[in-house]
Structures are given as structure tokens and as C-alpha cells.
Structure 1
């Protein structure tokens, strides 16, 4: 059975919107507001090496698909199976990508994948996965930035009370904090 991991860059006030670019007025806040420290990104390399599949929502798919296939640093992601949860996407162009139409299909995917299923970005999907109790772990890189507004990973739109167990953490010289939490069951 697969382990579903939500992996996010987040601000201290919980905003996950547009960390590298996008529609947010402060898009790119991960690199524009915080000094780069390569050691803070070690978890990203580890995720790519350990992942068996990638899961994303349609919006993240539309942001990643035109860019990631040409990036050598994402070779493992480009080769692995990718799944997009969408009711509207037809015929995805990114190599080895399938469309799932519901969270029930995601639950069935977890039963068939042997290994880690990573969810990058996709704040709306992540909230739905949490509400459906499909998330097993959170990988968070928390940046010392306050944006005040934007899509959040955790908000008050759903009652998703879950106890989380901190299993790994580290603070870096640039103020970024890595926090890895398992969902307690």
C-alpha cells in the first residue's frame, strides 16, 4: 500500500500560494525573500529518489507540465507515473500521466502503489485528501515570511482534526525550518 505525502513550501502564516512563481502578488517568495541555503532543500532530493508516483491537482499540473519535463533535476519525476485529480482535464501531454476523477480513485491508487505518492503544491487537493483521511505524512519547509493572504494548506474550510507526530525536524541558517509529520492513526 502506498504512503501519501503532502510536500509543501509554506510561509510562517501558512500560505503555500505561488512559492516559485504564479498569480500571487508576492510570487516567488521562497527565493526572493529568503537567502538560498542548499542544505534546506536536501529533503526535496530525497523525496524524488524515494517516490514511486506523483499526484497533483489540475492547477499544479498546468503549472508543472510545461516546465518540469525539460528540467534535468526532475528526471526521476518525469519518468515516474504521474496522476492528476481533475474533473476537466483530458489527454494530459506530460509523459506517463493519468487522470483520476475522484478521491475514491485516489484511495484505490494508494492500494495499488508500492511506495511513496508525493503531492506537490495542489493546496485544494491537499485539503480534500486530508478531509478524506488519505494523507499519511506532511513534509513542510517553513519559510520565515509572512504573506497574510493566499491559498493555505490548512484553513477553516473543513473540520480535519488530526493529531500529527513530529518525526524529523531541522532549522537552517537562513531561517527555514524543515518539519516532517506523520498523521497519527
Structure 2
């Protein structure tokens, strides 16, 4: 979804759809452009195989090639970055995405979904990667527990609760709502 007059963009990486659900809630409130971070080669569908690949990528600092490229990135003043916690850290595709761009003059606002263990080092990693941009406080929301077979959980009543958390967070950040 795009709106070329917007000054904010919402980018996200997702496996189960929970981070995407939060990105869509932010988009509903703030408008702007919405981009999914996608790798050129898809991750394994099998959860355990994906976990093993992720651990290998993190251990060996492998940055996967991406399909996602935002041609007009310089126009954005505010960049929301949505990430799931993978192995208590950023998924490598998110690092690939961040390293593609110049972050000077940007305000970056991270949001995270996780299986109940919190954001891990994701927000600190983003801070280190986007310097000298301004990083605002992030939002973390419990998503699914794929290891226990719970994938997309941010739906129905849980989505309504998440929407209230997003509203409260945006209000605390003193960001106007556009929709």
C-alpha cells in the first residue's frame, strides 16, 4: 500500500503474520506507505529448519539478499520498523534491509512481536545500525508461539487488545493519528 505524499513508512518482517498485523494497525492509525521485507530466497516452511537456518545466519553474519527495495527512501522522515524476535535478536533480513539505506535525519520507531520472551536485543541492534538517526521508544507485543503450534494469534479479540496498545503507544510518542 502506498501514498506518495506520506512522510512516514512502515516496514516489517514477518513469518507468521503477527508483525504484519501490528504494521497494519499502525498503518490504519498513521497512514503512510507499507512495505514487507522479503528475502529473494524464501525461508523454510518447517519451523525447526527455519530456526536452524536463522541460527546459522546469525552466527556467521550472513545477510540474505532481499526482494524489498524502497526506491524513494529519502522522502521519509519517520520510519517504523517491525520485527519479530528471532533467537533473541534481529532476523538477518532486517539487518540486510537497514544496511541498504542512509538513516541521517530519520526518526526510527521500532515495534516487535515475540513468543513471550520479549524483544531481546532487537531494539539495541536497531539503535546501533541506524546511527545517527533518532530512535524513539519501541513497542513490544506478544505474538504467537510457533514452537507450540500457535502461529497467527493477533486476530479477533487479541487484535483489538493489540490495537489499543498501538493507540496508547502512539499517543505516548506524541504522534498524531492520521486516520
Q: TM-score range by the shorter chain?
A: 0.3 to 0.5
Question: Which structure would you say has the larger RCO, counting Cα contacts within 8 Å and 6 or more residues apart?
Answer: 1
Higher helix share: 2
TM-score, normalized by length of structure 2?
0.34
Instruction: Name the TM-score, length of structure 1 as normaliser.
Output: 0.34
